[in-house]
Amino acid sequence: MELAVIVAVVTTFSSFSGVLGYFLMRAKFVRELSVSQKREEELARRAYETVVLKEIGDRIGYSLSGAKIVEIISGSLGELLPYSTVSYLIVDEVEEKVFFQCNVHQSVSAAFVKEVKTKMLAAFSEITGKPLLTGEVDEGITGVILDEESKEPLGSFFNLPVVISGQLAGLINVGSTQANLYNDENTEVLYRIARLASDAASRLQEVLENEKSRLSQAVGALSDGLIMVDTSYRLLLVNPKLCQLLSIVYDPSLFDIVNALSGQLDLRTKMEEALARDLPSSPLEIVVKGKVLSVFVSRVLDSKSSKPIAMVVLFHDITDAKTLEKLRQDFTAMMVHELRAPLTSIKSTAQMLKEELTKVEPGELARYLSSIDSTSQAMLELVGDLLDAAKLEAGKFDVICEAGDLAEAINERVESFKPRSQEKNLSLSVDIEKNLPKAFFDKIRIKQVFNNLLSNAFKYTEAGEITVKAVSEIIEGKAIDILVSVADTGVGIEEEGLALLFSKFGQLETGRKKGAGSSGLGLYITKGIVEASGGRIWAKSDGLGMGSTFYFTVPLAKIEQKSIISSRGNIDGLTSKKVAQVP
């Protein structure tokens, strides 16, 4: 009996153990299956997250479009979680419009979509703190056809904000007719994607802002005027140089620019032509506010699609180039006249002497020969000016400076002009400081300087006097150089004319009106000689009819010395270099 009980107990325990083991194994299997399912779900979410982020990166590139980010996330839900509709709301602050787009996955009613839109507008307004009017909404619905007979309301939903650099770029809504469908667990991946996308876009925006700042600085520093418009002719960029060229306010509107160009350039037509053509348009020359501008219109193409995304209009100021070209043309015409007239005179005189030499009286013959000599000398001086100007431009113009008596050189040149002063009935005087220090100058070239300055003074003075002065220039009680001036009571110089005095071919309008023909090289060469010798030269005048005064400085001779100084570069930035020095 006891044995039977023991066997029964053992049998019962074994059966219980087997059943218990089964349940334990089953529970373990269920747990492992649950963990495996969760792992698979997590892997699926991670894979979805990776795919969406990659698509965002591929499709956005460097455009930084918040609308694209919202569109990609909302369009990539797939089978991640059940939903009836997925919608997004975007505000375009430039256009002052609100865009609402709803994709219907499961058939719902129009009232369902309207409720989704209302809740999104309320959420957007609450986040931004700005009221949004429903009348401003541009609405679009895609996907499954709406079922007007459906009575199912919006059972559950969640809003997913997309924030870029602290600014709300858009709002995504996932809605369903089922109640209590969404929770933190099944929506976590979407929030994480939105956060990662926002962080990546914010970093990209920071990079683009830095690049934009550098580009703006570069565009602002351009010496040419520039504007950029998009394909809808909205103004994107204007640099300060354009405002300066067109004499308009800074940060202008497109209307301000078009108005400034009125009557000179049909900007809209030129842009349309450039947009329609594959080849670059030809530059167009216009005159605005006294400036000659070369205008070039070009398309800006997208690097991927090669489609036009903007247009750039460049305004290049060619006023100086046109002025220089006019000066060159005038110079050429003047040189032809200056050389042809004396050559014709020489040829005619020589021809007459050849044919009638036996009939010419000795006194008359001397007069003819003197005329040939003076005419030839004038031609040689003109050719000499041309050669000196060429040497200055080539950097091969030399001056041989040595210590000398500048007062003696001044008196000698003034004395040579006395006959001319008597001829024009002008007073010519000299005022030289007593015990003027020794100066350091080229004794040959200094004559050329005085010849040019005195010749101009006589040429443009009809009455009054011409005065040459030389004094020590004192700064802080110490003589630093000798200041020489040549003053006249002639026609004077306008303020804007002073800037042209020492430029190549820079003959003044006053000289042209007076018919005082000149190569226009005299003051250009004078400036080269003075600056190559280590001095400075400038001019002053109170205006037309008020006379003018030319000043230049000559370095002091520190020791008895002699040196060869060679010019380098152009005349406007002339420097001097001591090549040799002989004690």
Please give the chain's pLDDT, 583 residues, in tens: 566 666 565 566 566 566 566 566 766 666 766 666 667 666 666 666 666 656 555 555 445 455 666 666 666 665 567 889 988 888 776 667 788 888 898 889 999 999 999 898 888 888 887 776 555 678 888 888 888 888 889 999 988 887 777 778 788 888 999 998 888 777 777 777 777 777 776 776 677 677 777 777 777 777 888 888 888 888 888 888 888 888 888 888 888 888 888 778 888 888 888 888 777 677 888 888 888 888 888 888 877 777 888 888 888 888 888 877 776 776 666 666 666 767 777 777 777 777 777 777 777 777 777 777 777 776 777 677 667 767 766 677 777 888 889 999 999 988 888 888 888 898 999 999 988 899 998 888 888 889 889 888 988 888 899 999 999 888 887 888 999 999 999 888 888 778 778 876 665 444 444 445 556 677 888 888 898 888 999 999 888 888 899 999 999 987 544 454 554 433 333 333 333 332 2
Q: Which helix (H) or strand (E) holds 288?
A: strand 284-288
Record the tokens describing residue 24, joined without a space. Answer: 């334990």
Q: Which of 313, 310, 327, 309 is nearest to 284 (CA)?
A: 313
Q: Give residue 298's pLDDT.
A: 85
Q: Which of 565, 574, 567, 537 is nearest to 401 (CA)?
A: 565
Record the tokens describing residue 502, joined without a space. Answer: 């020492």
Give the span between the Cα atoms of 543 and 494, in whole angstroms: 5
Give the span between the Cα atoms of 429 and 427, in whole angstroms: 6
Give the span between the Cα atoms of 47 and 45, in whole angstroms: 5
Sign, CA dihedral 397-400-403-404, equals negative
Q: Model-level pTM greater than 0.75?
A: no
Residue 300 phi, psi (nearest 5): -110, 120
Cα 474 to Cα 241, 403, 477, 481, 556, distances in angstroms: 42, 20, 6, 8, 12
Angle at 379 between CA 376 and CA 384, to 5 degrees: 125
Residue spans of the domains in the chain: they are 60-212, 222-317, 322-392, 395-581
Give the span between the Cα atoms of 72 and 56, in whole angstroms: 7
Record the tokens describing residue 151, joined without a space. Answer: 């009575």
Under 8 Å between Cβ of 488 and 453: no
Q: Give residue 329's pLDDT.
A: 72
Which residues, in sequence order, are bridge partners of residue 137? 98
Specify the DSSP class assigned to residue 101. Answer: E
Give the span between the Cα atoms of 249 and 10, in whole angstroms: 105
Give the span between the Cα atoms of 164 and 204, in whole angstroms: 10
CB neighbour class for 178 (10 Å; exposed up to 12, middle 13-18, buried from 19): middle
- DSSP letters of 435-481? TPPPEEE-TTHHHHHHHHHHHHHHHT-SSSEEEEEEEEEEETTEEEE
CATH number of 322-392: 1.10.287.130
Give the span between the Cα atoms of 348 and 143, in whole angstroms: 101
- The CATH label, of 3.40.50.2000, 3.90.1150.10, 3.30.565.10, 3.40.50.1100, for the domain at 395-581 is 3.30.565.10
- At the second CATH level, the architecture of 60-212 is 2-Layer Sandwich (3.30)
Q: Does domain 222-317 have CATH number 3.20.20.80?
A: no
521 three-state secondary structure: coil
Give the span between the Cα atoms of 455 and 426, in whole angstroms: 13
Under 8 Å between Cβ of 274 and 298: yes
Helices and strands of the chain, counted as H and E runs: 15, 19
Residue 473 phi, psi (nearest 5): -85, 115
Under 8 Å between Cβ of 506 and 522: no
Question: Given this chain, do its domains 322-392 and 395-581 carry the same CATH topology?
Answer: no
Which residues, in sequence order, are bridge partners of residue 428? 466
Give the span between the Cα atoms of 95 and 81, in whole angstroms: 35
Under 8 Å between Cβ of 248 and 235: no
